[in-house]
A and B are shown apart, each in its own frame.
Chain A
Amino acid sequence: MSNRFINILVPVVSIILGLIVGAIVMVFSGYDPIKAYIALWNGIFGSPYAMGETIRQISPYILAGLAVAFAFRTGLFNIGVEGQLIVGWFAAAYIGMAVELPAIIHLPLALLAAAVAGALWGLIPGILKARFGVHEVIVTIMMNYIALHTVNALIKSISGGSYKTEKIHETASLRSEFLSNLTDFSTLHYGILVALAMVIVMWFILEKTKTGFELKSVGFNDQASQYAGMNVKKNIVLSMLISGAFAGLGGAMEALGTFGNIVSRSAFTGIGFDGIAVALLGANTPLGVVFGASLFGSLTYGAGNMPNEAGVPIEIVSIVIALIILFVASGYIIRVVLSKMSKKKEAK
């Protein structure tokens, strides 16, 4: 079995194992796993409406996944996607609500605001890592909580004490009557196009530019890169900036497309953390992220159908997602088992 084949097989095996363990959990809890998975399937593909909503759900997942994957390629683990997404969400909602401009300027401006907000939130851990060698994992976790509390306070102050902001103007909206009619009046919006465009942007930066080459090089070996004359510190900061911008755009999907405003939250959205799973499953490549996001976006949206149709709590899907991450992370052992199996076959 070739190495490349095993690399593709590891995530596939992980997904299957995750679903199987999820089924075992359901059996032991007295639920019918087959009925549950059929409900999940119907929740994703059952109707044009469900499919529209599923695609809508996939857009922020793609962007969150890209954010994690991009930083990973430079050897950075950005757990702060969640916080960067929240500040992006707020920035987009604020620009969408507070200014009045023609759509051609307003929408790009709102998207840009989200990207800039996310980038700034990523910049802080980037600088701390580059300048002081502080581990980015801890800083980004802390930045998540700072984002959550700060945005809640900002929502309260700009809405005059309320827990949510006013709806954005039509001119900043990503909503599309065409896509909505196509999918039986779902909330599907143009965000998916933005997300796919960013997939191409990430591919282009990494594969076609000198900057991308440097970023990847730092990820492979920062000391060798330094020796070869690259500015490692600059690349670390740049990587976190771009990663944060992707995450911020993910927040814009929610602000300008799905919800049209931002509501004060007591806990995280979870999209940023799922982005880690998406990136891992997609092996940190742009195309892989699209697949990973499609899987997790579908699972999370489809799960909503499980309580009604099969009487299974929605959280079973979170269990399955967590298990898949655990299995992908433990890829070493799956590799060992797979290569042993293939050796046995060859011996025969």
Chain B
Amino acid sequence: MNLLDFLYFIVPMTIAYAAPLILTAIGGVFSERSGVVNIGLEGLMVMGAFIGILFNLFYADTFGAWTPWLALIVAMIVSALFSIIHAVASITFRADQVVSGVAINMLGIAIALFSVKMIFDKGQTDFIQRSIPLIDIPYLSDIPFLGPLLFEGLYGSSILAIAVAFLAWFIIYKTPFGLRLRSVGEHPMAADTMGINVSKIRYIAVIISGGLAGIGGAIYSQTMTGDFGHATINGQGFMALAALIFGKWHPIGAMGAALFFGFAQALAISAPGIDIDFIQKIPTVYFHILPYVLTILALAGFIGRANAPKANGEPYIKGNR
């Protein structure tokens, strides 16, 4: 296998693995920019993955080719609703946001597996018949080199993910809502004094993060696994959390980090099959732990503490200084 074949093989796979991470990490950006730590991304993704598969299995006959896309929407709605639990606990009830997030993770996987056992009477669901299809983008895929590299055999969901990243950048940095969102996360008391409803903005942000994580989960399950079981999501949500930190709480940065983690995952999974000498020599475990090690190094090294939103993790109590 020469370098060109390797690139044609690994680049599309990287984008495919990155898409769910991008969406979930962007969700995290919204939540954390508003000052609510969201460790619960994993649980929200699990919920999305489960609902996506469930909808796909039950309605594939009714909706035909539209099924996986409708499944994404349904997964988004259910995960958004599910994230309200985190919002109520951490905003209204002033719970420790990290603990509440941990509870969301446990609750997400528990509810999903409970439902799987109830509906299918076994540990995992059946396989879906209609997964998200691979498409070629007309005209663009005819470009030499770049065409087959980036625009051939692409999941439509990956385009969605990248579009959402740019949209999120626009919303957070170029709209009044984005300004409010950031101000609430940096200095809620100042924002409150200026007449911004801190709780409302935070609720909206957490619900957006739930919705995006739901889509992310549903994309993962409908492109990568095709069914849902206890190990379907296995850490993708935490990897998205890492991407969000690695990307310095910035949508485009998070997308870049997610693409990099997607590359690491693609390498880890396909490494044994890649016929390139130096990759064969590296044990796959190094690829598996690479995203996590890099995140730790990044935190210790070139990302300072100053980048996290200042009020991240602190419940806002009116009248407290």
Contacts and interface: CB of A to CB of B under 8 A. Distances in A.
A196 interface: no
Interface in A235-275: 266-267, 273
Interface string A106-130: 0000000000000000001000100
A145 B231 CA distance: 13
Interface stretch (A134-142, A171-179, A286-294): A134-142
A304 interface: no
A329 B37 CA distance: 14
Contacts of A316: 110, 114
B292 interface: yes
B295 A142 contact: yes
Which of B104, B107, B296 counts the most A-chain CB atoms under 10 A from its CB? B296
A30 B114 CA distance: 12
Contact of B241 (A131, A141, A152, A313): A141
Interface residues of B, number: 44
B159 interface: no
Which of A138, A153, A331 counts the most B-chain CB atoms under 10 A from its CB? A138
Given A145-B289, A153-B283, A313-B113, A329 B241 contact: no
A314 B118 CA distance: 11
Contact of B305 (A133, A322, A330, A333): A133
Contact of A142 (B39, B102, B292): B292
Given A145-B292, A326-B95, A329-B95, A139 B299 contact: yes
A114 to B, nearest CB: 21
Contacts of B284: 153
A79 B98 CA distance: 10
Which of A133, A141, A146 counts the most B-chain CB atoms under 10 A from its CB? A141
A220 interface: no
Contacts of B89: 326, 329-330
A132 B111 contact: no
Given A266-B231, A273-B102, A326-B89, A319 B111 contact: yes
A149 B296 contact: no
Contacts of A319: 107, 110-111, 114
A142 to B, nearest CB: 4
B167 interface: no
Interface in B95-134: 95-96, 98-100, 102-107, 109-111, 113-114, 117-118
A125 to B, nearest CB: 8
Interface residues of A, number: 46
Contacts of A266: 231, 234
A207 interface: no
B111 A152 contact: no
A301 interface: no
A183 interface: no
A137 to B, nearest CB: 6
A147 to B, nearest CB: 9
A7 to B, nearest CB: 16
Nearest to B295: A142
Given A267-B231, A315-B110, A322 B103 contact: yes
A89 interface: no
Interface string B289-321: 100110110011000010000000000000000
Given A132-B300, A145-B292, A323 B283 contact: no
B106 A149 contact: no
B29 interface: no
Contact of A79 (B92, B102, B106, B288): B102
B13 interface: no
Nearest to A321: B106
A313 B98 CA distance: 28
A149 B102 contact: no
B241 A138 contact: yes
A329 B100 contact: yes
A299 interface: no
Given A142-B292, A149-B289, A150-B285, A322 B106 contact: yes
A318 interface: yes
Contacts of B94: 330, 332-333
Contact of B93 (A150, A153, A267, A332): A332
Given A134-B300, A145-B238, A315-B111, 5 more contacts: A135-B299, A322-B106, A325-B102, A326-B107, A333-B92
9 tightest CB-CB pairs across the interface, nearest first? A318-B110, A313-B117, A153-B285, A322-B106, A330-B93, A329-B95, A322-B107, A315-B114, A142-B292
